[in-house]
């Protein structure tokens, strides 16, 4: 299943993260964002995952978001191509960092594509075209994943959403947590069960299912009320991370 994990890879926070990309043009507090990142990593440790911690990259402000330049699938690692020029060097560095963990390494060589636009549902992948993922990059990844036995579909991320997974996440084998915005745009072609986050709590749609636990952003009481009936919830603060377009899923690679 796509949410059963033994390992997680994270990167130490860097001093230049206050200059990370932000659609909101807001700079976070280094102290506060460090606290949020530390809480996140400590939570993964408490859940029993083997944590592999990479050194910080001061030349790359967004480099703690290791999900964007890489994708794991079974014992395979796929090097992706982030869209913004400030992140161009992250992929090559990350390949070197993970080379001992995976049997095979593949490369998306053309276009651009980020992990935040890739939703895995067991052996099926949905790639959302966005301002960070174009058709060329998506089609390159599609070929790689299909060669590995996965099925893939490419769709359009609604224009007002940065990344596809900014407003959706897999929380059960056939259940997707998502915003009303995603529902309204008829994104999903196959039949899934949907849980819609209440209005005003859209940030909660980027949650992470890790084995028997569901990590969700704090400050979403109505979503917690809905999900707590079935899931063991762990609430994590991401207020500062949200200022630089980040959420829970982007801060680790899990396999």
Q: Which of 186, 190, 226, 189 is nearest to 205 (CA)?
A: 226
Residue 61, pLDDT score: 97
Q: Check if the beta carbon of residue 67 is closer than 8 Å to that of residue 253.
A: yes
Residue 190, pLDDT score: 83
What is residue 252's three-state secondary structure?
Answer: coil
pLDDT digits (tens, 9 = 90+) for 45-89: 999 999 999 999 999 999 999 999 999 999 999 999 999 999 999
Q: Which residue has the tokens 């998306």?
A: 108
Extract the tokens encoding 99: 């080379």
Q: Check if the beta carbon of residue 249 is closer than 8 Å to that of residue 119.
A: no
Q: Which of 32, 25, 218, 148 is nearest to 13 (CA)?
A: 32
Is position 31 within any domain? yes
- Domain range for residue 220? 7-254
User: Where residue 77 sits, what CATH number does that domain have?
Assistant: 3.75.10.10
Q: Check if the beta carbon of residue 56 is closer than 8 Å to that of residue 14.
A: yes
- Cα 16 from chain centre: 21
What is residue 166's three-state secondary structure?
Answer: helix
pLDDT digits (tens, 9 = 90+) for 12-31: 999 999 999 998 889 999 99
Q: What is the pTM of this model?
A: 0.96
Is position 50 within any domain? yes
Give me the residues paired with residue 38 across strands.
none
What's the CA gap between 69 and 252, in Å, rounded? 11
How many separate domains does the chain show?
A: 1
pLDDT tens digits, the chain, 255 residues: what are they?
799 999 999 999 999 999 999 988 899 999 999 999 999 999 999 999 999 999 999 999 999 999 999 999 999 999 999 999 999 999 999 999 999 999 999 999 999 999 999 999 999 999 999 999 999 999 999 999 999 999 999 999 998 899 999 999 999 999 999 999 999 998 998 889 999 999 999 999 999 999 999 999 999 999 999 999 999 999 999 999 999 999 999 999 999
User: For residue 209, what is the DSSP state?
Assistant: E
What's the CA gap between 64 and 55, in Å, rounded? 10
Question: In this structure, what are the phi and psi dihedrals at residue 142, rounded to the nearest 5 degrees?
Answer: -55, -45
Question: In this structure, what are the phi and psi dihedrals at residue 94, rounded to the nearest 5 degrees?
Answer: -65, -35
Is position 2 within any domain? no
């Amino acid at each position: 299943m796509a949410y059963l994990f033994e390992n997680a890879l994270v990167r130490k926070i860097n001093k230049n993260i206050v200059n990370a990309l932000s659609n909101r043009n807001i700079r976070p507090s280094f102290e506060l964002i460090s606290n949020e990142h530390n809480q996140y990593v400590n939570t993964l440790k408490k859940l029993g995952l083997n944590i592999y911690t990479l050194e910080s990259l001061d030349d790359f402000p967004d480099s703690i978001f290791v999900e964007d330049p890489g994708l794991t699938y079974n014992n395979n690692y796929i090097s992706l191509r982030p869209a913004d020029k400030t992140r161009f060097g992250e992929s090559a560095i990350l390949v070197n960092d993970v080379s001992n963990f995976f049997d095979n390494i593949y490369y998306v060589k053309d276009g651009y594509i980020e992990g935040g636009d890739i939703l895995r549902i067991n052996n099926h992948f949905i790639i959302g075209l966005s301002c960070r993922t174009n058709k060329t990059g998506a089609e390159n990844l599609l070929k790689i994943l299909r060669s590995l036995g996965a099925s893939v579909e490419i769709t359009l991320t609604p224009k007002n959403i940065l990344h596809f997974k900014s407003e959706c996440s897999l929380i059960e084998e056939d259940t997707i947590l998502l915003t009303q915005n995603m529902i309204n745009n008829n994104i999903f072609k196959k039949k899934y069960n949907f849980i819609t986050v209440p209005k005003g709590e859209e940030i909660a749609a980027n949650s992470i299912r890790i084995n028997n636990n569901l990590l969700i952003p704090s400050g979403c009481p109505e979503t917690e009320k809905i999900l707590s009936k079935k899931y063991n919830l762990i609430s994590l603060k991401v207020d500062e991370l949200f200022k630089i377009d980040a959420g829970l899923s982007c801060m680790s690679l899990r396999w």
